[in-house]
Amino acid sequence: MPALPFLLEVLNATEDDLAYEILDIVLGFTKGVNRERYIGFQRALGREPLPDPKWVKELRLQLINELPRFRALTGHPNAGISESAGLILDELSAKV
């Protein structure tokens, strides 16, 4: 996802309201690359899941490389930011 590095750069230098919104976008990315979530959805539709496209694997890896950043944000004094960071970590910890 070409936008991810720019979003993360802004995240470092913005006020809490915008940081929360950026984390909400990143949470959407993490849900989109969560293999476990994808497999469950496809099977609920009666379909066999396909392998992930290359861009999904690359985005998942980019997000996983940012785990230390998201872990640090779980201690943020803003409850929305810390909660969003925790949800991102939950999505990235899914195993399949």
Question: pLDDT value at position 12?
Answer: 84
Cα torsion 64, 69, 75, 79: sign:
negative
Q: Residue 95 — very low, low, confident or very high, per pLDDT cuts 50/70/90? A: low
pLDDT digits (tens, 9 = 90+) for 53-72: 999 999 999 999 999 999 99
Number of domains in the chain: 1
Torsion angle defined by CA atoms of residues 17, 22, 25 and 29, in that order, rounded to the nearest 10 degrees = -150
Range of the domain at 49: 4-92
Instruction: Give the C-alpha separation, 13 to 35, whole Å.
Output: 31
pLDDT digits (tens, 9 = 90+) for 17-66: 999 999 999 999 999 999 999 999 999 999 999 999 999 999 999 999 99
The whole-model pTM stands at 0.89
